[in-house]
């Protein structure tokens, strides 16, 4: 879907922004770019969108060199979400969402249908459509920004620290919404963040950058537990491990008990219980606080499905 081949870019003679970078983003991946400020994350997004041309190297979108794309056609295939949202204050939420369709001269019926569909997709009610941006909270504006990026049904979604200005509680909610939207629509997403927990929670592929170079690329498990770079070890550190424990669900490591019936689990005298949707950190904390080695696990319907034991952690594929 997106390919960087030995790409370099610099704004000043002795200050490269991107250094000989090669990266492939496959169709349907959720790729998170993470690294310190100034490492080149946003520059990569702008290159994908054709806003910046590399000084050297080649960028391909859907197998076609980016310079060969008509700029308008390229942008129609790419949705862009930024931290500042950038909603038009004089337009209603409905018109903000449908703005890309307006540029494409779509029918009024299509624009209204798409706005209604997308406002619900991002977790807002239809009664928000006639409102104006100044009537919305920061988190609600960010949802509208995501809806606007999806309006023209682009194949690629670029997100540049879209949740950076959102408070911590709403940030977690919006992260869950983004995961749900990704799983529902199966778009290709490239997401920029400096937040380690956010990267581990969202990405199917995580790219750790520093000073314009890729230090390591891998899955959540690989970046947290099997990183080869000293820089990545220091950058991810204990926060990455704690984030992992706070994100991965107990259901991924539950140890079944002889077919897992309520009776069989109760026979093990389980005094403490968790659900399979609870994060690992919850199970670990309950075990340690109560001096027990294992606790019972129920599913959403309250049925016993097995036990959580600290030894169950070996079931994870690090």
Please list the pLDDT of the chain residue by residue as tens digits (318 residues): 899 999 998 876 667 789 899 999 999 999 999 998 888 999 999 999 888 888 999 999 998 999 888 888 888 889 988 877 788 999 999 999 998 888 888 899 999 999 999 999 888 899 999 999 999 988 888 899 999 998 888 899 999 988 877 777 778 888 988 999 899 988 999 999 988 999 999 999 999 999 999 999 999 888 988 877 889 888 888 888 888 888 888 988 887 765 444 555 665 567 889 999 999 999 999 999 998 888 999 988 888 888 888 877 766 654
Please state, in angstroms and rounded to a whole number, the distance separating the CA atoms of residues 305 and 302: 9
Closest by Cα among 179, 202, 176 to 31: 202
The dihedral built from the CA positions of residue 282, 219, 312 and 179, taken in this order, carries a sign that is positive
Angle formed by the axes of helices 108-121 and 138-150, nearest 10°: 130
Please state, in angstroms and rounded to a whole number, the distance separating the CA atoms of residues 177 and 79: 17
Q: Which CATH number fits domain 2-247: 1.10.238.10, 3.40.250.10, 3.50.50.60, 3.40.50.300?
A: 3.40.50.300
With contact defined as beta carbons under 8 Å apart, do 189 and 154 qualify?
A: no
Closest by Cα among 200, 287, 281 to 208: 200
- For the domain spanning 250-315, the CATH number is 3.10.580.10
Please state, in angstroms and rounded to a whole number, the distance separating the CA atoms of residues 206 and 169: 23
Phi, psi of 200 (to 5 degrees): -70, -35
Q: What is the pTM of this model?
A: 0.85
CATH 3.10.580.10 in the chain: give the residue spans.
Answer: 250-315
Please state, in angstroms and rounded to a whole number, the distance separating the CA atoms of residues 155 and 186: 9
With contact defined as beta carbons under 8 Å apart, do 150 and 118 qualify?
A: yes
Please state, in angstroms and rounded to a whole number, the distance separating the CA atoms of residues 140 and 127: 13
């Amino acid at each position: 879907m997106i390919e960087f081949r030995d790409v370099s870019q610099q704004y000043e003679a002795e200050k490269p922004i991107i250094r000989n970078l090669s990266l492939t983003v496959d169709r349907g991946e959720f790729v998170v770019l993470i690294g310190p400020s100034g490492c080149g994350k946003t520059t990569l997004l702008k290159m994908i969108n054709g806003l910046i041309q590399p000084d050297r190297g080649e960028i391909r979108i859907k197998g076609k060199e980016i310079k060969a794309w008509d700029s308008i056609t390229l942008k129609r295939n790419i949705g862009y979400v930024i931290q500042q949202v950038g909603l038009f204050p004089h337009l209603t939420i409905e018109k903000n969402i449908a703005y890309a369709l307006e540029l494409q001269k779509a029918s009024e019926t299509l624009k209204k249908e798409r706005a209604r569909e997308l406002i619900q997709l991002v977790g807002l009610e239809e009664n928000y459509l006639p409102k104006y941006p100044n009537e919305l909270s920061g988190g609600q504006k960010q949802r509208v920004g995501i809806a606007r990026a999806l309006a023209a049904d682009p194949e690629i979604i670029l997100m540049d620290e879209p949740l950076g200005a959102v408070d911590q509680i709403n940030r977690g909610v919006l992260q869950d919404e983004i995961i749900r939207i990704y799983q529902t629509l199966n778009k290709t997403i490239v997401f920029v963040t400096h937040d380690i927990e956010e990267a581990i929670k969202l990405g199917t592929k995580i790219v750790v950058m520093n000073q314009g170079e890729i230090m390591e690329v891998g899955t959540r498990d690989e970046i947290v537990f099997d990183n080869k770079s000293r820089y990545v070890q220091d950058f991810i550190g204990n926060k990455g491990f704690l984030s992992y424990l706070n994100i991965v669900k107990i259901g991924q490591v539950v140890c079944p008990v002889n077919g897992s019936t309520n009776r069989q689990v109760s026979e093990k005298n389980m005094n403490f219980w968790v659900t399979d949707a609870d994060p690992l950190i919850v199970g670990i904390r309950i075990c340690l606080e109560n001096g027990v080695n294992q606790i019972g696990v129920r599913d959403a319907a309250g049925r016993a499905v097995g036990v959580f034991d600290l030894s169950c952690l070996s079931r994870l594929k690090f």
